[in-house]
Amino acid sequence: MNSKIEVAIVTGAGQGIGLATVNRLLEDGFHVVMVDRQAEPLATAAAGLKAAGGSVEHHALSITDRAAVAALVAGLPRLDVVVNNAAVFWDGKFDTTSEDDFRKMYDVNVIGTFIVMQEAIKRMSRGGRIINVASRAYLAGYAHAAYGTSKAGVIGLTRSSAIDLAERGILVNAVAPGLIETEMFRSLTPERQQELIAKQPTKALGQPEDIANGIAFFANPRTQNVTGQIMTLDGGRSMGISLY
Ligand SMILES: NC(=O)c1ccc[n+]([C@@H]2O[C@H](COP(=O)([O-])OP(=O)(O)OC[C@H]3O[C@@H](n4cnc5c(N)ncnc54)[C@H](O)[C@@H]3O)[C@@H](O)[C@H]2O)c1
């Protein structure tokens, strides 16, 4: 690999928004390091991209495994961009959410993101760009006590780390997707899917490519002087209309 080519890690890269982001960063000229804990879909996606001439490599690991993340980062020739996209999601009313489920979601969505960020910055001696994938759900949402709290955690992590890392030339921003047509959305019942679409000002679902486009803005080396910001890509749902 040409040492002048910028390297980007994308977590949760095997499907959905992560895979769309990989495609977009390849178009934008990055070498992309694909990470996912599901080995098989990840390998299949990476093989398809390689066959089409994409500059990718793939690593099956969990973002909660600090040793595995550290080994991956240490083995890269350089690191310029990290997209923290991997997350877990399930609906659950506050009164029936177990402490165990609450901890499990927090462990991946917040602590996993924290681990990847902390290991990644060790290789960002020349500066870098970190993009965390939050969710509009950080504002509030029906049956989102655990998920919304975890994504509010991602926002807090983004904004506070942006302050601490600014003097090292590392920009930290987030995107907050609304309803996006992926497996995560399809895991909801058809009735709940229709109910949620009806609440969108646009009456439409977003596509993974819409989120990849926002991520690509923050990942672009020409995007400077912007840090600690949240780009909400949600069909207008966050403008103060009913959130549940
Ligand atoms: N789809 C939506 O409507 C929507 C809305 C708002 C925010 N988001 C956020 O966008 C991101 C991507 O969502 P998606 O819909 O593409 O999800 P998805 O479930 O389709 O894909 C998530 C990927 O992350 C991987 N992953 C999960 N836990 C992991 C771990 N511990 N280590 C490594 N990989 C792991 C999964 O294997 C999967 O491939 C997530 O952060 C999600 O919370 C999605």
- Is residue 14 very low, low, confident or very high in pLDDT (cuts 50, 70, 90)? very high
**CA–CA separation, 220 and 165 (whole Å):** 18
| Residue 242, pLDDT score | 57
Q: Is the CB of 233 under 6 A from ligand 1?
A: no
Residues 6+ apart with CB under 8 A from 7: 30, 31, 32, 33, 76, 77, 78, 79, 80, 81
Nearest CA to ligand 1 atom 30: 62
Output the average pLDDT for the chain.
96
Task: Show the tokens assigned to 75.
Answer: 């083995």
Q: State mean pLDDT over 49-57.
A: 98
**CA–CA separation, 145 and 159 (whole Å):** 21
Q: Give tens-digit pLDDT for 83-125.
A: 999 999 998 999 999 999 999 999 999 999 999 999 999 999 9
Q: Is the CB of 68 under 6 A from ligand 1?
A: no
Q: Give tens-digit pLDDT for 201-211.
A: 999 999 999 99
Active-site position among 106, 138, 147, 244 = 147
Q: Per mean pLDDT, which range of 31-40, 101-110, 139-148, 162-171 is the poorest?
A: 139-148
- By percentage, how much of the chain surpasses pLDDT 90? 90
Task: Show the tokens assigned to 233.
Answer: 């890509």
Assess whether 142 carries a catalytic annotation: no
Q: Give tens-digit pLDDT for 64-80.
A: 999 999 999 999 999 99
- Is residue 199 very low, low, confident or very high in pLDDT (cuts 50, 70, 90)? confident
- By percentage, how much of the chain surpasses pLDDT 70? 98
- The CATH number for 7-232, chosen from 3.30.420.40, 3.30.750.24, 3.40.50.150, 3.40.50.720, is 3.40.50.720
* Strand partners for 129: 81, 171
- Is residue 241 very low, low, confident or very high in pLDDT (cuts 50, 70, 90)? low
Q: Which candidate, 151, 231, 181, 199, places its Cα nearest to that of 15?
A: 181
Q: Which candidate, 132, 134, 125, places its Cα nearest to that of 165?
A: 125
Pairing of strands 128-133, 81-84: parallel
CA dist list (Å): 85 to 12, 46, 126:
6, 17, 23
- Is residue 90 within 8 A of residue 147, CB to CB? The reply is yes
Residue 224 DSSP SS3: coil
| Residue 2, pLDDT score | 75
- Is residue 3 very low, low, confident or very high in pLDDT (cuts 50, 70, 90)? confident
Q: Is the CB of 138 under 6 A from ligand 1?
A: no
Domain boundaries, the chain: 7-232
